[in-house]
Chain A
C-alpha cells in the first residue's frame, strides 16, 4: 500500500511516455530526436515500470527471450529495409532511388524508408537499454 500514489501515477503516465517515445522514433527526420533518442525514451519507460512495480514483474512482462528477439530482429529489420534498394537494382539503403514515394516535406511520409528504418533501430535501442538494466540489476 505504501507506493500507492507512485503506482497509480505510473499507470497513468508510463503509457504516454512509451507512446511519446515511439512518436520521437518515427518523426526523427522532421523533428529533433530520432530513433536513438526515441528508443531511449521507450526503454526508460520500461525501466521505470520495472523499478516501480518490482524487477520480478518487469521481468515477467519482458522475459529474456523477448528482449533477445526484439534486439536481433530490430537490427535485421534495418538490414531488410536497406535491401529494398538492392532488390530494386539501386544501392543499399537507397530511399528515393528505390522508388519510394516521398510525400510532402514536413510530414511523416516525407522520410520514405527512414521512419521504418528508425523503427527497427528504436526497438533495438529500447531493448538494449532494458537488457542492460536487467543485467546490472540481476548481477
Chain B
C-alpha cells in the first residue's frame, strides 16, 4: 500500500483536502464526524508534507515531478515538489492543523450555528487544498484556477459570520480580489501568447530567448502580474480590502487568511517572477527595484497605520500589511541570503500571525472586548493565551531565539549585500515600529491593574478550552522551535533560494 501511495504524494496532498471538502456537506449535521475528518486530513496532510520534505531534502536538488494523467511536460499539467514546494507545503499543513484544532473549540458560537460551521469547514478544506496546490503547481493556468479557488473560499470565510459588516467586508474583498485575478489572468494570457507554453519551465526557456522581440508584451505581462498579485497579497497602496476582511472574519479564518492565504499569493508571485521571468529579466525590467521600493513603503506605512488602530484584530491586520512588505522587499533583493531570508520569514510569519490572531480571538471570545485599551490586566486572567500572544509578538518583532529573528537576520544580510542603504535601514526601522505597536498590548495586559470585577459587563475571563489551548501551545512552540533550531527549514529555504536564482 505505501509503495503505491508514495510516488503519488504530491497529488494526494492537494486532492485529499479537496475531495473531503466536497463530501463534507452530505453529513453537515454530524459535527463530531466533520471535525474529526478535518483534523484527520490535517494530520495526514502534515505527515505527507513532512515525508515529501524529507524526500526532497535527501535528493539534494532534483525535484519530484508528477505528470497528471501520464502526459509529459509541455502537453500535460505537471506538479513539481522541489525545495520551494516542500517548504510551502510544510508551512500550509503545519499552520492549518493547529488552526483547525482551535476552530473545534468555539466555532459554532462564532459563526452562529452548526450548519454554518460545517460550511465553514468546507471552505477551510478547499482553501487548504488550493494552497497546497499553489505550492506544487508548475503550470501557469493552474495557478490562476488555484488563485480563484483561494479567493472564493477566503471570501466565503470572511462572510461566515452572520453579520452585515462581514458581508460588506467580503463583498469589498471579492471585488478587489477578482480585479486582481482578472489582471493575473491577463498576464498569463500575454505570456501564453508570446511563448505558446503554459508549463513554467518551457515558458521561461522560450521567454529568455524571445523577449527582445516583443519587450512591450513582456512589460504588459509583468505589470499585469505584479499589480494583480499586489492587490491579492495586499501590497501597500493596494491593501485597502485587507483590514476589514481580516478583522471581521471569525478568528480561525483570520489566522488562516493572514497567515496562509496572503502567503499563497506571494508564493505564486515568486514563482512567476523567478521561475517564468527569471532574475535576469527582472533586472532588465527594473522589477527588483520596484519590489524593494514597494516593500519599503509597505513596511513603514503599514506599521504606522497599525500604530493608530485601537481594535486589536485591526491592528494585527495592518501589521500583516507591514509584514507583507518585508517579503516583497526580500523578493527584490536578488541574492541568495536575502531570498533565503524571505522564504524563512514567510514561513515564520505564517506561524506567528496565526498565533497572534488565535490568541486575540480567544481573548475577544472570553471578554467580549475588541479594543486594546480595554484589555488591562488580561495577562493574569488568561495566562496561557497571553503568553502565546507575547511569544508571537516577540517573534514578530524579531528578538533572538524566536523564529522572526532568523528570517530578519538573513534579510538584513541580503540587504547589506546589495550595498544600498534603503532596504537595510527599512528592515531595522520596521522592527522598531513593530515593537511600538505590539509592546503596548503586552504592557497593558501584564502591568496594568484589571478593572473592577464587580462591574457587570466584565465577567471573569478564563483561558479557552483544551483544544484551543493545545493549538496555541503548538503554534507558540513552533515559533520558539524555529528560532532555536532553524536548521532544516533554513537549509530548505537556502536551497530553494539557490535554485530560484539559478545558482548551484
Contact = CB atoms under 8 A, between A and B. Distances in A.
* A and B in contact, CB less than 8 Å: yes
Contacts of B28: 68
B70 A90 contact: yes
B4 interface: yes
A71 B25 contact: yes
Interface of B: 4, 8, 11, 15, 18-19, 22-26, 28, 66-70
Contacts of B66: 91-92
Given A69-B26, A73-B26, A89-B4, A79 B67 contact: no
Contacts, number: 52
29 contacts: A68-B26, A68-B28, A71-B22, A72-B26, A73-B23, A73-B26, A75-B19, A75-B22, A79-B18, A79-B19, A85-B69, A85-B70, A86-B8, A87-B4, A89-B4, A91-B8, A91-B11, A91-B66, A91-B67, A91-B68, A91-B69, A92-B8, A92-B66, A93-B68, A93-B69, A94-B69, A94-B70, A95-B70, A96-B70
Interface residues on A, range: 20 to 34
Contacts of B26: 68-69, 72-73
A48 interface: no
Interface centre among A68, A72, A75, A94 (most CB of B within 10 A): A72
Contacts of A89: 4
Contact of A97 (B8, B11, B70): B70
Contacts of B22: 71-72, 75-76, 79
Interface centre among B22, B23, B28, B67 (most CB of A within 10 A): B22
A85 B7 CA distance: 12
Closest 9 CB pairs of A and B: A75-B22, A93-B69, A97-B70, A79-B19, A94-B70, A92-B11, A91-B70, A72-B26, A72-B23
A95 B15 CA distance: 18
A139 B21 CA distance: 25
B248 to A, nearest CB: 22
B4 A76 contact: no
Interface of A: 68-69, 71-73, 75-76, 79, 82, 85-87, 89-97
A87 B66 CA distance: 16
A91 B71 CA distance: 9
Nearest to A93: B69
A87 B28 CA distance: 30
A36 to B, nearest CB: 14
Contacts of B19: 75-76, 79
A24 B185 CA distance: 28
